[in-house]
Structure 1
Amino acid sequence: MTKSVLSDADWSGKAFTGEWRSLSGEPIVVTEPATGQPLGRVGRATASDMRTSAAQARQAQKSWVGMPYGERAKVFRKAAALLESSRDEFASWIVRETGGIPPKAMFEIDSVLHHLHEAAAMLTQPKGLVLPSAEGCTSIARRVPHGVVGVISPFNFPFLLSSRSALPALATGNAVVLKPDPRTPVSGGVLLALLLDGAGLPKGVLHMLPGDAEAGEALVTDPDVAMISFTGSTAVGRRVGELAGKNLKKAALELGGKNALIILDDADLDLAVCGGAWASWLHQGQICMSAGRHLVHKSLVADYTQRMAEKARTLPVGNPHTQPVALGPIITPQQVQRVDRIVKASVSMGARLLAGGSPDGQFYPATVLAGVTPDMPAFREEIFGPVVSISAFDSDAEAIALANDSEYGLSAGIYTRDVGRGMAIAEQINAGLVHVNDQTVNDDGTMPMGGRGASGNGSRHGGPANWDEFTQWQWTTVRSTAPAYPL
């Protein structure tokens, strides 16, 4: 990619519909959370813009799915090569727009590269079965695309989470209308559109329209959109699921989490503290898989709490674009207020604040709460901030009960030297992802990612699950001679 993405005037104030064009809404100003300064502008989609793009995408999908599979695979491979050559520039956008530290940005880029290669590989995978049938009849079940898939992605890992849905949807023959979060529309939309356009994706197959709730509801309810893939908060996910259900379309919902990290009495405490810090403070805790509850055996809880508090006090907080910090800014002032409310309310109910807990503008330090009980907000609510919430337990049965005492069911981690014991506990945890001797924040494009309960509707992204989500079965029979029926 020869032109600078940062200074590219082609997309400034615009959206992508196969070409960069202005929309009818007032442009969105992209703001750097660390400084409050504007970084650029993108187009803002209205319901009318969404309607137009959905109709165009439906038409473009027919020629896309009819292209030779090798030509479609080339698009993804070329996009991967373009991303490799633009790695530093893309990372800079992700750092500045999301407030994430540079290693987090590089993780996103590496993950998207993985998804691009997986998308290319999907084109040579079998997509059907020959079923048992009577003599003279061939019975086939094959995977066919939905048509148009709407993708609504969040702010926290925008480049990755837009790509995780859009790329397999495209690879399986669908067209995509992508609505990135208006707080991170460049990382969540512009970057992917630039890549795929530069790689030769046919015009109209991908539409990228930033927008707010009006645009999102228009996408979910549009009759030309057959499926919605949504990643975001549980509250918004409930609304998306409601609208999709009313319109009889498929919805894949990956929502929030209040994930349990269980530290058993035989755990390696050094590794558990290391994993616990990563699970709660990575990207300021703004990850659906963050450890929202550290459940620690009573024989270790005092030592674990002390070590975690000591570690919290050593982690620098600041602008990740200009400083070597461990924690960057929280995405918005409103989210800072939410984190601070949960911390203060839990302290007022008896939790002990051992580190952090004092916001500075949009910066919130690594925070440790001890003595958290199930009636406190720090135990119940998804914080989406850098808060370690510690509760003690006495037995494996109590640990399991505490872990399952939540409406959420996304991820869990268990630290123990006894793998068999860890596996026995894992089998009783109500979560879509469970890791024995690892923490809760794990992601791999080849595994089925998703939750249950308030964490999702059982849908999955990644690996073999992509075929389940982004295609549907069609049964076809072929007979050499038509049968004669008795009526």
Structure 2
Amino acid sequence: MMQAYQFNDEQFIAGHWLKGTSTHTLNNLNPYTQELILKLQAASLVDVDSAYFAAERSFATWSQTLPSERKNIILRVLDVVKNRREEIVHWLIQESGSTRLKANLEVDAVLGIINEAMTFPERMTTRELQSTDPDRKSYAVQKPLGVIAVISPWNFPFHLSMRSVVTAIAIGNCVVLKPATDTPITGGLLLAKIFEEAGLPQGVFSVVAGLGSEIGDYFVEHDTPKMISFTGSTLVGKRVGQLAVRGNHLKRIALELGGNAPLVVLDDADIDLAVELAVMGRFLHQGQICMSTNRVIVDAKVYDVFVEKLIQRTKNLSYGDPSNENTLIGPIINASQVEKIRQMISQALQEGTKLVVHDEIQGNVIPPHIFVDVNPDSSLAKEESFGPVLPIIKAQNESDALRLANDTAYGLSSAVCTSDLERGKHFAMQIDAGMTHLNSITVADQPNAPFGGEKNSGLGRFNGQWILEEFSRTHWLTIPNTERQ
């Protein structure tokens, strides 16, 4: 029988489980029960150095391994995740407050990205180009970058860590991962166990779980990494971008940041469908998703009937214990986030915004809150709540709906609900965002589709060919044409 993973007070550095050398500790709490999961000695600057130096040494050999060898490693990673699926789901529920539904969706997303990554070793190309010099041949050679630094968030910790880590390793890069302090296991140490079980050579991958205030800037500014892959808030992402251009070497950056995703309900929409899209798009994982529906913009002709049906539908939603099969809304990740959402609700009420669905906040569990007739210029409409709070905005017509949809500093995901697909397609292509979905929720991700945003929602694209290009470099090579010589 397969033995379950055990997590102790240890970091994973250069293929070894070692105690962190910081004087600080990370108290890893279950966000629903507040029970202590793990007390972890944090990583220090010395640990960051050790991880980077090991990755730099390992790159010389790992980058030269045969594509078939790297593919076999990724195949074994896939098998490990499949075999340990229930164990991983358990950890996501316990550590990140994922409901069982969301945890399974997250594991499915990871399996998809690993399957896609298995194709990457053989997709690194060498292309012969047409040469303007008849005496020379010209080639564009795709190569791994080197050491890639990954900073991952707490909301989809397993997926958003694996998305960068497995891709980078499959291409031939080495990786140092800094998971969020709220999810050091599912965002970091769990991946270390999986890659270790899959037989990844020592030094190719390290995990340093530490305080952002202690190692965050140093992790980005360090001379070793060639690229910083960051997923998190726009505020922190902007700082990562600034730090990445300091020091002795410019670094590439891939930033997947915040969002203010609109769901636009046009006057010909199927209202029952639109209600379901709003409910799932907003309340899945308590709204703690960058793509989550942050506001619903509804045409005035169907506004009243939409609001009425939405209220009735939301009253039937279950919230509370994330381990229960029927729970849709589980706990917010920590008390600090709860307080931010509480203040947002309080400010909206002080401004006179009408609250039509609500209940008492219990611990870290915030029941669904729905505001109607929301002023599009209010903070409730402008800011990303990252919680189960949904503002409904009335649009006078289709052109007004488009104006409202684009009236934001963000541009990650979006959705349009209409019975006329051609109309919907035309509308969607005018939204200034990286992703738009017709008659579907704003929360969507596929391993071979470009994932990323515009404006303050980030730089670059993840998944498929797009992340392959982000995590590799192109080397132009010319050689004499020996036949002519």
**Quick check: TM above 0.5?**
yes
CA distance in structure 2 between the aligned counterparts of 1:257 and 1:426, rounded to whole angstroms: 17
Does the CA-based 8 Å contact 1:13-1:27 persist in structure 2? no
Instruction: Tell me the equivalent position of 2:305.
Output: 303
1:268 to 1:209, Cα distance in 2 relative to 1, 3 A: same
Instruction: Tell me the equivalent position of 2:150.
Output: 151
Instruction: Tell me the equivalent position of 1:461.
Output: 462
Matched, 1:20 2:17: yes
Two-structure CA RMSD over aligned residues (Å): 1.6
Instruction: Tell me the equivalent position of 1:329.
Output: 331
Instruction: String of CA shifts for 1:387-440, please: whole Å, max 9, x gaps.
Output: 111001012111111011100000110000111111111111110001122121
Q: How far has the Cα of 1:324 moved from its partner?
A: 3.5
Instruction: Tell me the equivalent position of 2:92.
Output: 94
Does the CA-based 8 Å contact 1:43-1:209 persist in structure 2? no
Look up the equivalent residue of 2:284 and give its one-letter code: L
CA distance in structure 1 between the aligned counterparts of 2:215 and 2:447, rounded to whole angstroms: 28
Q: Which moved more, 1:473-482 or 1:128-137?
A: 473-482
| 258, 261, 264: which one aligns with 1:262 | 264
Look up the equivalent residue of 2:267 and give its one-letter code: D
Runs of 4+ aligned structure 1 residues displaced above 3 Å come to 480-484
Does the CA-based 8 Å contact 1:15-1:208 persist in structure 2? yes
Q: How far has the Cα of 1:51 moved from its partner?
A: 1.6
Q: How far has the Cα of 1:357 moved from its partner?
A: 5.5
CA distance in structure 2 between the aligned counterparts of 1:412 and 1:116, rounded to whole angstroms: 26
CA distance in structure 2 between the aligned counterparts of 1:464 and 1:116, rounded to whole angstroms: 14
Q: How far has the Cα of 1:330 moved from its partner?
A: 0.5
CA distance in structure 2 between the aligned counterparts of 1:126 and 1:259, rounded to whole angstroms: 34
Matched, 1:124 2:122: yes
Q: How far has the Cα of 1:358 moved from its partner?
A: 3.3
Look up the equivalent residue of 1:22 and give its one-letter code: K
Does the CA-based 8 Å contact 1:263-1:296 persist in structure 2? yes
Does the CA-based 8 Å contact 2:357-2:371 persist in structure 1? yes
Instruction: String of CA shifts for 1:118-145, please: whole Å, max 9, x gaps.
Output: 1111112242321110323111112111
CA distance in structure 2 between the aligned counterparts of 1:313 and 1:210, rounded to whole angstroms: 40
Q: How far has the Cα of 1:347 moved from its partner?
A: 2.2
CA distance in structure 2 between the aligned counterparts of 1:174 and 1:60, rounded to whole angstroms: 9
Q: How far has the Cα of 1:454 moved from its partner?
A: 0.9
Does the CA-based 8 Å contact 2:99-2:324 persist in structure 1? no
Matched, 1:181 2:194: no
Does the CA-based 8 Å contact 1:14-1:43 persist in structure 2? yes
Equivalenced residues, count = 479
Q: Which moved more, 1:109-118 or 1:256-265?
A: 109-118
Instruction: Tell me the equivalent position of 1:139.
Output: 138
CA distance in structure 2 between the aligned counterparts of 1:327 and 1:82, rounded to whole angstroms: 29
TM-score, normalised relative to structure 1: 0.96
CA distance in structure 2 between the aligned counterparts of 1:125 and 1:146, rounded to whole angstroms: 15
| 318, 337, 340: which one aligns with 1:316 | 318
Matched, 1:169 2:165: no
Aligned residues with identical type, % of pairs: 36
CA distance in structure 1 between the aligned counterparts of 2:226 and 2:112, rounded to whole angstroms: 26
1:181 to 1:399, Cα distance in 2 relative to 1, 3 A: same
CA distance in structure 2 between the aligned counterparts of 1:131 and 1:99, rounded to whole angstroms: 52
Look up the equivalent residue of 1:232 and give its one-letter code: G
Instruction: Tell me the equivalent position of 2:232.
Output: 232
CA distance in structure 2 between the aligned counterparts of 1:125 and 1:48, rounded to whole angstroms: 36
Q: Which moved more, 1:365-374 or 1:313-322?
A: 313-322
Q: How far has the Cα of 1:2 moved from its partner?
A: 2.5
Q: How far has the Cα of 1:43 moved from its partner?
A: 4.0
Matched, 1:477 2:474: no
**1:18-417 map, 5 Å:** 18-25=15-22, 26-133=24-131, 134-213=133-212, 214-247=214-247, 248-322=250-324, 324-356=326-358, 358-417=360-419
Q: Which moved more, 1:21-30 or 1:141-150?
A: 21-30
What SS is found at the alignment partner of 2:279? helix
Does the CA-based 8 Å contact 2:100-2:324 persist in structure 1? no
CA distance in structure 1 between the aligned counterparts of 2:29 and 2:74, rounded to whole angstroms: 30
Look up the equivalent residue of 1:266 and give its one-letter code: D
CA distance in structure 1 between the aligned counterparts of 2:312 and 2:60, rounded to whole angstroms: 59
Instruction: Tell me the equivalent position of 1:4.
Output: 4
Q: Which moved more, 1:18-27 or 1:97-106?
A: 18-27
1:188 to 1:380, Cα distance in 2 relative to 1, 3 A: same
Does the CA-based 8 Å contact 1:350-1:371 persist in structure 2? no
What SS is found at the alignment partner of 1:262? strand
Q: What stretches of structure 1 of length at least 5 have no aligned partner?
A: none
Look up the equivalent residue of 2:404 and give its one-letter code: L
Q: How far has the Cα of 1:323 moved from its partner?
A: 6.5
